[in-house]
A and B are shown apart, each in its own frame.
Chain A
Amino acid sequence: MESAVAARTVDLCKVYGQGDAAVAALDHVSVDFYTGEFTAVMGPSGSGKSTLMHCMAGLDSPTTGQVFLGDVELSALNDKDLTRLRRDRIGFVFQAYNLVPTLTAQENVELPLSIAGKKPDKSWFDKVINTVGLGPRLHHRPNELSGGQQQRVAAARALISRPDIVFADEPTGNLDSVASAEVLGLLRTNVDEYQQTIVMVTHDPVAAAYTDRVIFLADGKAVRELRKPTVELIIEELRVLTAEAVAGTAAEA
């Protein structure tokens, strides 16, 4: 599959701390994310998945290396331009605490547009709202919604402004399998029907199997990738990865 690159990193490094205490959360990572593709990022805890998301979304700045969103190099932007970029071209879904508690579900969905002072495109808005499938609960506050419903609202919010790319960090981490399936279905639909680009961090092979491609991180490095993943393939890859890690630590010792 040869399509345009929506976002990419070039030799991206992120080091926390200094001297002996320095931790390379990302170690020369160069990956491309393609337009209209649903990508999963997997790896053991502490492998740098969240850090990668944050750097790519302009929430955190790389130590060295570059992040491109389309043709725009993020480190060249000041805070104001980054904010605007996030507002107009990036969508987010977090693991928890995704919604503004004082706003209704519908208002939460509209939030990025209203921050930008734009009116939602009626037909697009209806489509997104339809896919969320909240119906009459649209006018409820987040604390009156279930976790799965809240995450679907958060996903809709990330999609409403038709961003170039949506980043989701463990969006199903707090959900049971049924609610997870609802959220993942929603994301998948958007990729299939509207060519939305989505990058999702997950620990769950079942969730990762919804995607087109899985990138595996280990110790801050992009070590492997898998196209057209299935649950079995993913579990196999993770097993290999863990084995290598154990071998690595054994070798070090």
Chain B
Amino acid sequence: MSGLWRVTWRNLFARKLRLILSATAIVLGVAFVSGSFIFTDAMGGAFNGIIQGSTADVEVAPKGATDFDSQQDFRTIPASVAEELEQVPEAGSVHPFNQVLTLYVIGKDGKVVGGNGPPGLGITDVETRSVTGNPIVEYVDGEHPMGVDEVALDVDTAEKAGYGIGDTVRFVAPGDQPELSAEVVGLVEFGDGSLAGATLALFDARSMQELFFDGRDAYSGISLNAAEGVSQTELRDAVAPLLQGDVKARTGDAVVEAGEEGLEEILGFLNTFLLVFAAVAMVVGTYLIINTFSILVAQRSRELALLRAMGASRRQVNRSVLAEAFVVGLIGATLGLAVGYLLALGLRALFGIFGLDLSDADFPIAARTIAVSYGVGVIVTMIAAYLPARRASRIPPVAAMRDEVALPETSLRRRLIVGVVMVVAGVGLMIGGFAGEGSTGLLLIGLGMLSILVGVSLMSPVIGRPLVEGLGAAYRRVFGMVGGLAGQNALRNPRRTAATASALMIGLTLVALMSILGQSASASTDEAVESTLTSQFIVSNVIGSPFSTTVAEQIREVDGIETVAQFRQAFPEVGGSVAAVGSADPEDLTAALDLPMAAGLLSQLKPGTVFVNQAAAEGQGYAIGDTVKMKLQGATVPLKVAGVFPAGAALPADYLVTHDTFRKGGLTPLDSLLFIVKEDSASTAQIRTAVDEITKDLPTVTLKDPSEFAEEQKEQIALFLNMIYALLGLAVVIAVLGIVNTLALSVIERTREIGLLRAVGLSRRQLRRMIRLESVIVAVLGAVLGVVMGVAFGIALQRAIADQGVEVLSIPWIQLAVFVVLAALVGVLAAVLPARRAARLDVLKAISTQ
């Protein structure tokens, strides 16, 4: 080991505290990256288990009907087909089944179990084996259900709902009867692990048909297990000639593969979503690392100068700093992986709020996760340490002889110029992004914002100065000398203060931006509901899942009701990407909504035509007369554009078609929203009572007036916003750690000065206050810059998406002010440890420190 390496190495371990502090940023950033991967892997594993565990050797079904990502389909296969398949010698056993996806269990407490995203499965009780060799369901208790009054539940659901064998369970059902009840006679387990939050209810074959398929003797699909020695392909080839129309036979492997492809896409999206937040955390972390290394280099400048004086070359000094960074990166990445695992468990809890239950899932640490974690950890640390390392190598050897060493710094003027250039470039990118389309547009906007933020952080030593000086002056007035000292400390190293504040700025910019978009979306919802709804009531399902059409029929019978407009929803692929498509009866809709059409007439909505949301029309370039290709349950349906409706109306849809289009596409008719118009003479109170009576057994389906409806939608916005806050929270935590870190290092750096102050009579309490006040300055500077940037971005983004339904700009000033106040409190908290450390310094040792 050469002398220089030995110095590097000793340095690292002689200062364990500094090592840990500088590694924390890496740890947290890497944790987010690895946590995202571990979580999506766990989710993928769980869903792969479900796909494999529910697929037989060969599956026969109408094309696109029973896939992993299909919606409720009402197309069926006649029972006669199943009988014919029985005759095929290659088939060991034939298991025809019916399935519904929106049969929700109502728990003992009257609340729906799960149902916040995962499906409520109702399936025929069959003894199929899956491709894994296990039975799809296994009875752990009780017996098979017989008749419409008996049901078997999966054990997890039964436990969550509080039911045991012999209890009567109630359901919210999609069939003719909107609510059902049956006695629990059996408890089953899914053959291959967990259902990830989905619920499972089994009825016998005939009962499934009676309850949900109008009593027709027909099936959703037929699962086949092969006879001894028969392969999947042989079985499929034997079965295929017996099938007609769009009913197809596929091997289990093909079904699994298709399912996994669909899954990959969803997981890929989720992973990207999480990695965006990981990237934010990493950018914030980079500031922290740059700052830490700058301080470390500054503190060691005497020593580095000595090394140079003794003949170490610039390159050697440079490399010794980078080597230190490398080791810090390695250690940080290792710890980051471990913390990432914990974070993945945290994400499990976060997503659990949305109904995704991964409590039984494995959380694997894949080789890819390890590679990415180390790659990101080490590379980011080295990049962040590069500038401080270069500065270290510029320390002149003669500095070793001087008392105080000032590091060569780039001038503030150059930083200002670079900052301005980056801001201008960022604005350009953002403008380009707004003009662009889809994900490229988003990427450009993101890069533009990043460029602006980095530019502003470069300029912040200059633009933040008045604020810091102002706070310092206020401090001096309120806290006297201690306040004055704190203000001076924040000013003495403007770059350091600015870099520390910038980390917080980035976190808070995004938080403020999201709060503005959220508030604007809420206000736009109010506005849309107020200006477009002419109906007096809306019936909707709180958890957003569809409900039986019987509800609408029953409400039509109520005295004093003029119109009930049924609105249905599906999420098919349109022109290559998933979109929200709504269906409605145009006449009913006209009565319920005042839709100011941007093009075309509302009466033009006919079978075979489609209305396009203005935002979607602009995004995809659709005009009246164009053809839109909509993929409904496997079949691609061409539809002619007949109208464009404004975004931000009370209709949650990108496209609007007639009910007929959905029906032909094979989707089971289920309502998502009902708009109710009363006769002028009818009493609101009476109608309310009558409708409440109809929906009283459906805990999630309720009647609202327009403002309650708006509230319900705003709650969804708030829920989503809170999730984003939780994910951004980590970036803010890193930024706060940055303050702790910088303060702690400054305390070490100023040991002698602190000793001097204590020697001339500064009390511990005054010393702690001084450090606390300095911390508050940094935090408030970051918060103010962040809020200002957030408001600027918020206004820009709201303008950009105004035609996508966020028409109203609403800035939550009070909330933003609260952020700044919270940041000040955070500053106080961040100072606790450094202040305690400073107060504990032994005065005598402090003044004699070299």
User: Does any Cβ of A come within 8 Å of B240's Cβ?
Assistant: no
Q: Give B755-768 as 1s and 0s: 1 = Cβ < 8 Å from A's Cβ atoms.
A: 01111111110100
A102 touches B492 (CB 8 A): yes
Q: Which of A57, A59, A86, A97 contacts B752 (CB 8 A)?
A: A97
Residues in B neighbouring A86, C-beta threshold 8 A: 759-761
Hey, which chain B residues are within 8 Å of A94, CB to CB? 756, 847
What is the distance, in angstroms, from A134's C-beta to the closest C-beta of chain B? 19
CB pair B763–A83 under 8 Å, yes or no, is yes
Separation of A86 and B843 alpha carbons in the complex (Å): 12
- Could you mark each residue 72-100 of chain A with 1 if its beta carbon is under 8 Å from any beta carbon of chain B, else 0? 00000001100110111001101011111
Any B CB within 8 A of the CB of A103: yes
Is A218 interfacial (CB 8 A cutoff)? no
Q: How far is the CA of A28 from the CA of B760 in the complex (A)?
A: 28
Query: Quick check: A103 and B488 within 8 Å, CB to CB?
Result: yes
Q: Does A111 contact B (CB under 8 A)?
A: yes
CB proximity of A225 to chain B, nearest CB, Å: 26
Which of B485, B843, B847 interacts with A102 by CB under 8 Å?
Answer: B485
> Contacts A59-B843, A96-B403, A143-B404 hold; do A101 and B760 have CB atoms under 8 A apart?
no
Q: Is A49 an interface residue (CB 8 A)?
A: no
Chain B neighbourhood of A84, CB < 8 A:
761, 763
Question: Which residues of chain B come closer than 8 Å to A112, judged between CB atoms?
Answer: 760-761
B481 lies within 8 A of A111 (CB): yes
List residues of chain B with CB within 8 A of the CB of A60. Answer: 844
Residues of B within 8 A of A98 (CB): 756
- Chain A residue contacts of B481, Cβ below 8 A: 110-111, 114-115, 117
Bound together, the chains give a CA A115 to CA B480 distance in angstroms of 8
In the assembled complex, A188 has its CB within 8 A of some CB on chain B: no
| Chain B, range 468-485, C-beta contacts under 8 Å to A | 480-482, 484-485
Contact B480 A114 (CB under 8 A): yes
Cβ of A116 < 8 Å from any Cβ of B?
yes
Across the interface, which residues of A come within 8 angstroms of B756, CB to CB?
94, 97-100
Contact B764 A87 (CB under 8 A): no
Q: A102-B485, A114-B480, A114-B481 are in contact. Are A157 and B844 (CB under 8 A)?
A: no
Q: Does A54 contact B (CB under 8 A)?
A: yes
Instruction: Assess the B492–A101 pair: CB atoms within 8 A.
Output: yes
Specify the chain B residue showing the minimal Cβ separation from A116.
B761
CA distance A87 to B759 in the complex (A): 8
Contact of A100 with B764 in the complex, beta carbons under 8 Å? no
> Are B844 and A54 in contact, with the CB atoms below 8 A?
yes
Q: Report A-chain residues with C-beta under 8 Å of the C-beta of B480.
A: 114, 117
Q: Give the residue name and chain of the B residue nearest to A157 (CB).
A: B760
Which size bracket describes the interface of B in this complex?
A: 20 to 34
Residues on B with beta carbons closer than 8 Å to the beta carbon of A143: 404
Select which of A88, A99, A115 is within 8 A of B766 by beta carbon: A115
> Contacts A102-B489, A103-B485, A114-B481 known; A59 to B844 CB distance under 8 Å?
yes
- The reply on B437 being an interface residue by CB < 8 A is no
Inside 8 A of A54's CB, which chain B residues have their CB? Answer: 844
Q: Are B843 and A80 in contact (CB under 8 A)?
A: no
Question: Would you give the shortest CB distance from A16 to chain B, in whole angstroms?
Answer: 12
CB-CB under 8 A from B484, the residues of chain A are 103, 107, 114
Is B753 positioned at the interface, with any CB of A under 8 Å from its CB?
Answer: yes
Question: Which residues of the partner chain B approach A100 to less than 8 Å between Cβ atoms?
Answer: 485, 753, 756-757
Let me know if B491 is at the binding interface, CB within 8 A.
Answer: yes
Known: A96-B403, A102-B489, A102-B491. A80 touches B763 (CB 8 A): yes
What's the nearest-Cβ distance from chain A to residue B761, in Å?
A: 2
Assuming the contacts A97-B756, A102-B489, A103-B488, asked whether A115 and B843 have C-beta atoms less than 8 A apart, the reply is: no
Min CB distance B820 to A, Å, is: 26
A102-B492, A103-B485 are known contacts. Are A92 and B843 too (CB-CB below 8 A)? no
The residue on B at minimum CB distance from A158 is B760
Q: Which residues of chain B have C-beta atoms less than 8 A from A101's C-beta?
A: 492, 753
Instruction: Report yes or no: A83 in contact with B764, Cβ–Cβ below 8 A.
Output: yes
Distance (Å) between the CB of B742 and the closest chain A CB?
Answer: 16
Cα distance A86–B847 in the bound complex, in angstroms: 15
In the assembled complex, the CB of B559 is this many whole angstroms from the nearest CB of chain A, namely 80
Q: Chain A residue with minimal CB distance to B766?
A: A115
Chain A: minimal CB distance from B603 (Å):
76
Specify which chain B residues have a CB less than 8 angstroms from the CB of A99 in the assembled complex. Answer: 756
Task: Mark each residue of chain B from 344 to 388: 1 if its CB lies under 8 Å from any CB of chain A, else 0.
Answer: 000000000000000000000000000000000000000000000
Chain B residues with Cβ below 8 Å from A59 are 759, 843-844, 847
CB neighbours of B843 from chain A (8 A)? 59
- C-alpha spacing A148/B69, complex, angstroms: 82
B763 / chain A contacts, CB cutoff of 8 Å: 80, 83-84, 87
A96 — which chain B residues lie within 8 A by C-beta? 403
- Within 754-789 of B, Cβ neighbours of A (below 8 Å) are at 756-764, 766
B7 to chain A, nearest CB (A): 25
Residue of A nearest to B487 (CB): A102
Contact across chains for B492 and A88 when beta carbons are under 8 A apart:
no
On whether the beta carbons of B752 and A92 are closer than 8 Å, the reply is no
User: Which B residues lie within 8 Å of A91 (CB)?
Assistant: 760
Among B488, B489, B756, residue most surrounded by chain A Cβ atoms (within 10 Å): B756
Q: B-facing mask of A31-50, CB < 8 A → 1, else 0?
A: 00000000000000000000
A79-B764 in contact (CB<8A): yes
Least CB distance from B570 to A in Å reads 66
Residues of chain B within 8 A (CB-CB) of A83 are 758, 761-764
Closest to B490 in A: A102
Residues of B near A92 (CB, < 8 A) are: 759-760
The docked-state distance in angstroms from the alpha carbon of A216 to that of B539 is: 99
Q: List residues 41-61 of chain B with CB under 8 A from any CB of chain A.
A: none
- A98 vs B403: C-alpha distance in the bound complex, in angstroms? 13
User: Hey, what's the 0/1 contact readout for A114-136 against B, CB within 8 Å counting as 1?
Assistant: 11110000000000000000000
Contact mask B481-516 → A, CB, 8 Å, 1/0? 110110011011000000000000000000000000
Which chain B residue shows the least CB distance to A167? B759
Contacts of B760 on A, CB cut-off 8 Å?
86-87, 91-92, 111-112, 115, 157
For the complex formed, measure the closest distance between the CB of A171 and the CB atoms of chain B, giving whole angstroms.
Answer: 14
| Cα-based distance from A97 to B403 in the complex (angstroms) | 9
| Chain A residues in 8 Å Cβ range of B764 | 79-80, 83
Complex Cα gap A110–B757 (Å)? 12
In the complex, A96→B489 CA distance in Å?
21
Min distance, Cβ A141 to any Cβ of chain B, angstroms: 10
B762: chain A residues within 8 A (beta carbon): 83, 87, 115
In the bound complex, what is the Cα–Cα distance between A115 and B479 (angstroms)?
Answer: 10
A111 to B843, CA, bound (A): 17
B752: which A residues are within 8 A, CB to CB?
97
Minimum CB–CB distance from B666 to chain A (whole Å) comes to 76
A157–B844 Cα distance when bound, in Å, is 19
CA distance A143 to B766 in the complex (A): 25
* B residues less than 8 Å from A157 (CB atoms): 760
Complex-state Cα separation, A57 to B760, whole angstroms: 10
Shortest CB-to-CB span from A243 to chain B, Å, is 31
Q: What chain A residues lie within 8 Å of B759 (beta carbons)?
A: 57, 59, 86, 92
Q: Shortest beta-carbon distance, B247 to chain A, in Å?
A: 83
Chain B: which residue is nearest A142 at the CB level? B404
- Complex: how many Å from CA A143 to CA B403? 11
A60 to B762, CA, bound (A): 16
When distances are taken between beta carbons in the complex, the residues of chain A under 8 Å from B489 are 102
- Tell me the smallest distance from the CB of B518 to a CB of chain A, in Å: 42
Query: Taking the nearest CB of chain A, how far is it from the CB of B748, in angstroms?
Result: 15
A101 to B480, CA, bound (A): 18
4 new A-B contacts at CB < 8 Å, known A59-B844, A102-B489, A115-B766: A91-B760, A101-B753, A117-B480, A143-B404
Can you spell out 27 A-B residue pairs with CB atoms less than 8 angstroms apart? Answer: A57-B759, A80-B763, A83-B762, A83-B763, A84-B761, A86-B759, A86-B760, A88-B761, A91-B760, A92-B760, A94-B756, A97-B752, A100-B485, A100-B757, A101-B753, A102-B489, A102-B492, A103-B484, A103-B488, A111-B481, A114-B481, A115-B481, A115-B757, A116-B761, A117-B480, A117-B481, A143-B404
Chain B residues with a Cβ under 8 A of chain A = 403-404, 480-482, 484-485, 488-489, 491-492, 752-753, 756-764, 766, 843-844, 847
